[in-house]
Structure 1
Amino acid sequence: MKHQLILIVLMIIFKAEAQSSASSMADSLYLTGNYTLAINAYAKMGNDRTNLQIARAYQAIGNLDKAISQYESIVAENPALQIAAFELGKLYLRTNAYDEARKLFSKLATGGSENPEYQYYLGEAYRELGQPASSLVSYKNAIQLDSTHLRSLFQLAKFFTVKQQRDQALEYINQGLEFYSNDVALVNLKALVYFNDDQYPKAIPWFEKVLALGERKEYVYEKLAYCYYKNWEFDKAKETYNELLKLNDDNSDTYFSLAEVYRKNKELDSAEVFIKKAMEIKKPIFATGYNALAGLARERNDLTTALSYYEKAHAQEPMEPRYYYQICTLNDQLAEEPGRKLEYYENFIKLYGSKQPYVSQMVARRISELKEEIHFSQE
């Protein structure tokens, strides 16, 4: 009897060692990316852990349908295995099965767990389903469980930034930055909050920090340059727009913006150079460029050249009333005969009167003055 007991114990030990060896071999195959052989090896063992590894291996090789099927089988057989349900829920999100993800994460979140990740991913499911109110509740639940949950803080901050609700956005942004001051996503949001609120001096250091953290994106340079421009820091604005051109020298808007910096700094010749460069890139749409060149000519008090550019702008976009209105006012200044002036203003009313009621009122008053002037001159 004693010998039989020893034999049974030895058999159990040998079997455990064999299973351990097989498991180690399967794990080695999995960790080195040999997923198909790993799946075959795990399938021979058939326990919760190896079944979970099979699901992970299917996901690793991109066979998401089989991965989902494997996860669903595990969850059905062992509902208490939260790790399987958690990974399945994330896979549902990845494959756009948002309602399935919502159901699963809702069950995990309401199962007495204090895991903020469940609340966060529940929020993600609601967000993808177009239910922002429910998603916000879930994100807030996540940060109640963990005040440092960055992804939930970011989603809340992003929502209120987009809605341009400055104070609420800053509340969540600052909460996140308190414990991770270099989180580039939150730093970027803080810059955008101030930018959207026209607080350009406050936005500047945050956009600068975004760049310092390595986020060298076109929109960052563009907005930072605009902040410098609005803050009358023209040299910094020029430098930043030039950095933007190094990233993309085929965007006419950048050249127009750079031209505006030079114009505002009274460097009209340089402004003209960049306007013409913008027009070269934006062919065949010249109207914006001609309008800008007309503005420069006006600043030089070269009204004849300004009129010529406005006429070219109007020829490009005849449905745009502001170009023709400038033609009217310049002819008013340049023409000697009241009748010629009157002709342009009356034509403005015919072309754009119903579309531009406020401007049409000013034009109507000028028409009245000119008619009176013509009447008295005839007498």
Structure 2
Amino acid sequence: MKKVFLTLILLIQFNAEAQSSALTVADDLYANGNYTKAIETYKQLKNLDEVYDKIAKAYIAIGNYGEGLVYYEKAIKANENNLLIKYEFAKLLTKTKKYDDANQMFTDLIVLDSVNPNYHYELGVVLEKQRDTLALQEFKKTFSLDQTHQKAIFKIAKHHLIKRNFELAHQFIDKGLESYANNVELISLKAQSYYHQEFYTHSVVWFKKLLELGEKSEFIHEKLSLSYAHNSDYEDAIYHRKQALKFNPNDANALFVIGTYYESLSNFEKAEEYVAKALKLQDVSLSHEYQRLGTIYNRQKKYEKAIKAFQKAIKEDPSNIMAEFFLIRTKDEYYADTDSKINLYENYIKKHEKSPFRLYAQRRLKELKEEKFQEQD
């Protein structure tokens, strides 16, 4: 009898050691990223109740969220009091867009532990996905429980930025940066807040911080360029707009804007180059762009090219009175024959009785007629 009892004890011990050894092997496979082998090994264990959640995590690691959900459900049934498993399951529900189920799960978790900030934050994320305005309330609750919670601070600060409550946005951003000075999301909000407040010198400082932290994007360089331009720092504005172009080389608007910056620096050759590039890329009405190109040609006294540009502007938009007037003014500079100039202004005045340039046209017509009279004398 003693021998049988001893044999049973040894057998139980052997099975326990075998189970423990297999579990260790499975855990090692998972830790080293061999998730499929880990799943196979976990499933060979006799007591699966203890590893359902591990199997779920392994399935999630290889992107099989469906099986992940299945095994988390089994893990919860086997471990009803394990809040961590419920928390991970709820996050997976959110990830797989099962928002109603995720909402219920996080709500239940909050009932069990109302002072856990992450439960409130994750519920806020779900409510946000459901377009429920109560999301902000949950983010604020998260912040009240943990004033260093970076994700909740970002959500609240972003809300205030969108609502143009800039003072409150800055307060939350600064609070977040106290505990994590290099939070690029908060730094971006800081830069954007200053930009929308038209504090361009400050926005430059904060957008540059993003670059220093290795964040490079079309958005950052574009906003830096615009900030510099608002401060009339056109060389820096050109540099950063060109950097933005690297992300989108066929951005006709960016090319056009660079051309205007070169024009502001009186570098008309470069202005001409970039505006001309912009025109080639656009397939919408180009009246304004051709008009601008014409003025750039005029500044270089390239009157013949300017005339052609203004003619194209009018062709693109026959109602462009300004381009039509600029065309007359350019011909006035380019043509030598006084009678031809007089005819241009007389026709313009007859055609455009309500033109804002009518008074100037009348004054110039008078000057031309006086010049003709003096020439006859």
TM-score of the pair, normalised by structure 2: 0.82
CA distance in 1, matches of 2:306, 2:168: 48
User: Contact conserved, 2:245 with 2:254, CA < 8 A, in 1?
Assistant: yes
User: Contact conserved, 1:191 with 1:204, CA < 8 A, in 2?
Assistant: yes
Tell whether 2:235 aligns with 1:268: no
Structure 1 residues 343 and 297, CA gap change in structure 2 (3 angstroms): farther
Q: Tell me by how many angstroms 1:283 deviates.
A: 5.6
User: Contact conserved, 1:332 with 1:341, CA < 8 A, in 2?
Assistant: no
Unpaired segments of 5 or more residues in structure 1? Answer: 347-361
Amino acid at match of 2:53: L
C-alpha deviations, 1:311-330, integer Å up to 9, x for none?
Answer: 31231244xx4x23442476
**% of aligned pairs identical?**
30
Structure 2 residue aligned with 1:114 = 115
Q: Tell me by how many angstroms 1:214 deviates.
A: 0.8
C-alpha deviations, 1:47-79, integer Å up to 9, x for none?
Answer: 443111121222223222221122123324433
User: Contact conserved, 2:314 with 2:323, CA < 8 A, in 1?
Assistant: no
Structure 2 residue aligned with 1:213 = 213
Amino acid at match of 2:321: Y
| Equivalent residues in 2 for 1:135-146, closer than 5 Å | 135-146=135-146
CA distance in 1, matches of 2:317, 2:81: 68
Structure 2 residue aligned with 1:101 = 102
Deviation larger for 37-46 or 65-74: 37-46
Q: Tell me by how many angstroms 1:190 deviates.
A: 0.9
CA distance in 2, matches of 1:234, 1:332: 29
Q: Tell me by how many angstroms 1:263 deviates.
A: 1.4
RMSD (Å), alpha carbons: 3.2
- Count of residues in correspondence between the two structures: 353
CA distance in 1, matches of 2:112, 2:159: 28
| Equivalent residues in 2 for 1:193-342, closer than 5 Å | 193-282=193-282, 286-297=286-297, 299=299, 308-318=308-318, 321=319, 323-328=320-325, 331=328, 336-337=342-343, 339-342=346-349
Q: Tell me by how many angstroms 1:289 deviates.
A: 2.6
Deviation larger for 91-100 or 23-32: 23-32
| Equivalent residues in 2 for 1:23-102, closer than 5 Å | 23-43=23-43, 44-102=45-103
User: Contact conserved, 1:42 with 1:54, CA < 8 A, in 2?
Assistant: yes
| Equivalent residues in 2 for 1:176-187, closer than 5 Å | 176-187=176-187
C-alpha deviations, 1:21-58, integer Å up to 9, x for none?
Answer: 12112222333444344334323333443111121222
Q: Tell me by how many angstroms 1:310 deviates.
A: 3.2
User: Contact conserved, 1:307 with 1:327, CA < 8 A, in 2?
Assistant: no
Amino acid at match of 1:324: I
Structure 1 residues 81 and 88, CA gap change in structure 2 (3 angstroms): same
C-alpha deviations, 1:332-356, integer Å up to 9, x for none?
Answer: 895535651233315xxxxxxxxxx
Structure 1 residues 295 and 105, CA gap change in structure 2 (3 angstroms): farther
Structure 2 counterpart SS, 1:110 = helix
Q: Tell me by how many angstroms 1:187 deviates.
A: 0.9
Structure 1 residues 336 and 90, CA gap change in structure 2 (3 angstroms): same
TM-score of the pair, normalised by structure 1: 0.81
Deviation larger for 140-149 or 251-260: 251-260
Structure 1 residue aligned with 2:129 = 128
